[in-house]
Amino acid sequence: MANKKDVTGLKIIIVGAGKIGSTLVGQLVKEGHDITVIDQRQALVDSITDTYDVMGITGNGASYSIQMEAGIEETDLLVAVTGSDELNLLCCTVAKQVAGCSTIARVRTPDYNNEVNYLRESLGLAMIINPEYEAALEASRMLIVPSALDVNSFVHGQAELIKFKVPADSKLDNISLMELSKRIKSRIHVCVVEREDNVIIPNGTFVLKADDTLSFVCKKTEVKKFLDEIGMKAKPVRNCLIVGGGTTSFYLATQLISMGIKVKIIESQRARCETLSLLLPDAVIINGDGTNEDLLNEEGIKDVDSFVPLTGIDEQNVLLALYAQKNSKAKVITKVTRTNFRGIISKMDIGSVLFPQNMTSEAITAYVRGMNNSKNSGNIQTLYHMYDNRVEAVEFSVGSNSKVTGNRIMDLKLKNNLLVSFIERNGKVFLPSGESTIESGDSVVIVTTHPGLKEIDDILA
């Protein structure tokens, strides 16, 4: 057990010290919260308490006595992210009965996924997190926009933040953002540019260069139009080869089949293949070693439109992605569960990368920031960390007590390196100008290099 640190944030118990739990601990400690970790595996508890200044308790997180030892009666939030859905739900139920605190459960089994609303309401959960399902949704969005390295969605899918690398022969090379806005018909905002190791929140005079990695935001309906205008037109994905037949593969295949995309899954375990054949009658299921070069070639990796390695081993996924990048023209999406080498992975040629742990951490962090906002100026709806956590994109719902409402954006004293990227008002999304105002009831997306925004008023200098 480690000594507790004096902090001014919330008191949070995290049950489950695996990859998701440890990622979450790292983020919440950085944001100044008082964390206690519970896990039945002593080695994992020791690893986290050696790394972070948190309390660690070895035991069953669903146990009343263990929760009492962890201080559940004074706890603001309990997050259960063990590998067992049932244990996570039981942990939350005990916490609600004992302390009435807010609770979040990781629930990933497909049988429960269709019952999320019922479970959340009947058990009084603040949130249910399904990392595998969210990873599948993000992968499917990337396949809709194959030119993109990353696709993040806001305001219930009405607007998207798209990341891509500027090709050497691009129309964007050596053009200022001001000039770009005059040459194109699409309405977009370039929010972030990464050049070499620097990230920039650009203004209108900023000049784009080949090999820049940039992120732009626009209405969902404008994405394809803009990419076509700048010469990055890509043929639609018609088929997908997936290696690994786990839960994420099932969710992704279900999404793709509903979109009219043909799916083939290579899975090594025969019993799982038989299960997938029953669950996914419209997919082709191959029983074999997806890391075998001859099998990959036999199943058409050189001609496939998209390739997604979803094995349970990061190293295999990375090697498969490298092979696909060299031997095919497929859109490649790679799942990586460990985030400690994210900086290195981001520089590798493995296509788009999924980090399910980060998706979970971001969703929970957004909720925690909302809990810690006592001014009622508005709550965080969505949070994304970008460019190796150097940039945040935060969606706020604007409350009636906010200081930013009723003023033109050009008259607000905003923090530097911060962009009001778009506003949703009464169901309509628009890109604001300096003359635009932010009003109560709006949803506003802020892109900034300043970490830890908790409320919309934090954009003010």
Residue 15 lies in a domain: yes
Q: pLDDT band at residue 4, thresholds of 50, 70 and 90?
A: very low
Q: 335 and 431: one domain?
A: no
Q: What residue type is assigned to position 413 of the chain?
A: K
As given in the structure block, the two tokens for residue 55 are 């309390």
Q: What is the mean pLDDT of residues 213-219?
A: 94
What's the pLDDT tens digit per position in 94-123?
999 999 999 999 999 988 888 888 999 999
Residue 145 lies in a domain: no
Give how many domains the chain has, as a whole number.
3
Q: What pTM, to 2 d.p., does this model score?
A: 0.87
Residue 153 lies in a domain: no
CATH of the domain at 453: 3.30.70.1450
Q: What is the mean pLDDT of residues 58-70?
A: 97
Q: 395 and 428: one domain?
A: yes
Residue 206 lies in a domain: no
Q: What is the mean pLDDT of residues 245-272?
A: 97
Angstrom distance (rounded) from CA 428 to CA 441 = 12
CATH of the domain at 280: 3.40.50.720
Angstrom distance (rounded) from CA 35 to CA 391 = 24
Q: What is the mean pLDDT of residues 333-360?
A: 85
Residue 197 lies in a domain: no
Q: What is the mean pLDDT of residues 353-368?
A: 90
Question: Is the pLDDT score of 1 beyond 50?
Answer: no
Q: 315 and 370: one domain?
A: no
Q: 281 and 349: one domain?
A: yes
Residue after which a domain boundary falls, among 354, 374, 406: 354
Angstrom distance (rounded) from CA 146 to CA 237 = 7
Q: Is 183 exposed, middle or buried (0-12, 13-18, 19+ CB in 10 A)?
A: exposed
Percent of the chain with pLDDT over 70: 97
Q: 430 and 339: one domain?
A: no
Residue 360 lies in a domain: no
Q: What is the pLDDT of residue 272?
A: 97
Tokens 């990230």 correspond to 199
Q: Is 453 exposed, middle or buried (0-12, 13-18, 19+ CB in 10 A)?
A: buried
Q: What is the mean pLDDT of residues 342-366?
A: 86
Angstrom distance (rounded) from CA 75 to CA 54 = 14
What's the pLDDT tens digit per position in 393-423?
999 999 888 899 988 999 999 999 999 999 9
Domain range for 417 is 366-459
Angstrom distance (rounded) from CA 199 to CA 180 = 20
Q: 247 and 336: one domain?
A: yes
What's the pLDDT tens digit per position in 120-132?
999 999 999 999 9
Residue after which a domain boundary falls, among 354, 388, 406: 354
Q: 349 and 373: one domain?
A: no
Q: What is the mean pLDDT of residues 222-227?
A: 91
Q: What is the mean pLDDT of residues 167-186?
A: 91
Q: 325 and 255: one domain?
A: yes
As given in the structure block, the two tokens for residue 309 are 């390695």
Residue 170 lies in a domain: no
Q: 273 and 337: one domain?
A: yes
Question: Is the pLDDT score of 36 beyond 90?
Answer: yes
Question: Is the pLDDT score of 168 beyond 90?
Answer: no
Identify the three-state secondary structure at position 204.
coil
Q: 428 and 392: one domain?
A: yes
Q: 334 and 414: one domain?
A: no
Residue after which a domain boundary falls, among 354, 374, 394: 354
Tokens 């799916």 correspond to 263
Among 112, 131, 125, 17, residue whose Cα is nearest residue 78: 125
Residue 183 lies in a domain: no
Among 103, 99, 108, 109, residue whose Cα is nearest residue 124: 103
Mean pLDDT of the chain: 92
Q: 339 and 407: one domain?
A: no
Q: What is the pLDDT of residue 343?
A: 72
Alpha helices by DSSP H, listed for 281-420, are: 293-298, 314-327, 342-345, 356-371
